[in-house]
Amino acid sequence: MHSNTFKTTALAALAALFAFTVAAHGAIAAGSHSGGHDNDKGHGHSMAIGEPGDPAKADRTIAITMSDNFFEPEEIKIKEGETIRFVVSNKGEFLHEFNIGTAAMHAAHQKEMAEMMEHGMITATGIDHKMMKMDHGGGKMMMEHNDPNSVLLEPGKQAEVIWRFTKEAELEFACNVPGHYESGMMGPIHMQHGH
Ligand SMILES: [Cu+2]
């Protein structure tokens, strides 16, 4: 990593987002380095949130509607080991995110998104794709908010998240656009033992 070269807050946010992306892949322990108190820099402790799913192996589809500011349905029930194809639609007038993670991951991501908004990468209603695509680190920092466990959608947009819930964990789906989680845009993922 070249973290010492990232001086500005904006770049720190990008670096944190990158760390988050890698964490979502299970390659390193999760932990925002943007200065929060919720950092759990557990060395080698991988997040048990699951893994990107194979679309061809999806057990079923769950439609998720996002609006201002709530999800429909309000909770999700899945079985341990299931691969779910989430078809996510933003039917509201604001930017919304569907993100699968632990409460701590969402809290960390909210800080990152607040910084992204502060620096114009996102607005209340949209994404500045030019800002998001800025390359600040030799090709490694291409930021498009395309973590496999989440999708960020402008009004009217639809996208899929294919996720495999590998083992039981305390998970939530949430929108981390500033202010939305606090206003209730989150819900529990209830997981049943698969055996
Ligand atoms: Cu939202």
CA of 109 to the centre of ligand 1 (A): 13
CATH class of 3-192: mainly beta
Ligand 1 centroid to Cα of residue 131, in Å, is: 20
Cα(177) to centroid of ligand 1, in Å? 5
Q: What is the whole-number distance in angstroms between the Cα of residue 112 and the centre of ligand 1?
A: 15
Give the β-pairing of 83-90 and 158-164.
antiparallel
Looking at the chain, list the stretches that DSSP marks H as alpha helix, in order from N- to C-terminal side: 9-24, 103-118, 129-132
Cis, peptide link before residue 69, omega less than 30° from 0: yes
CA distance 116 to 111: 9
CA 96 to ligand 1 center in whole angstroms: 4
Q: How far is the CA of 44 from the centre of ligand 1 (A)?
A: 32
Cα(138) to ligand 1 centroid in Å equals: 32
What is the Cα–Cα distance from 162 to 57, expressed in whole angstroms? 9
Name which of 145, 125, 124, 129 is nearest 16 in CA terms. Answer: 145
pTM for this predicted structure = 0.73
Distance 156 CA to ligand 1 centre (A): 13
In the block, tokens 């997040």 appear at 47
* Torsion angle of C-alpha atoms 98, 164, 16, 140, degrees rounded to 10: -110
Q: Can you give the residue ranges of every domain in the chain?
A: 3-192
Q: DSSP character for 57?
A: G
Each of the 195 residues of the chain gets a pLDDT tens digit; together they read 444 433 444 444 444 444 444 444 333 333 333 333 333 433 333 458 999 999 999 999 999 999 999 999 999 999 999 999 999 999 999 999 999 999 999 999 999 999 999 999 999 999 998 887 765 444 434 455 568 999 999 999 999 999 999 988 899 999 999 999 999 999 999 998 865
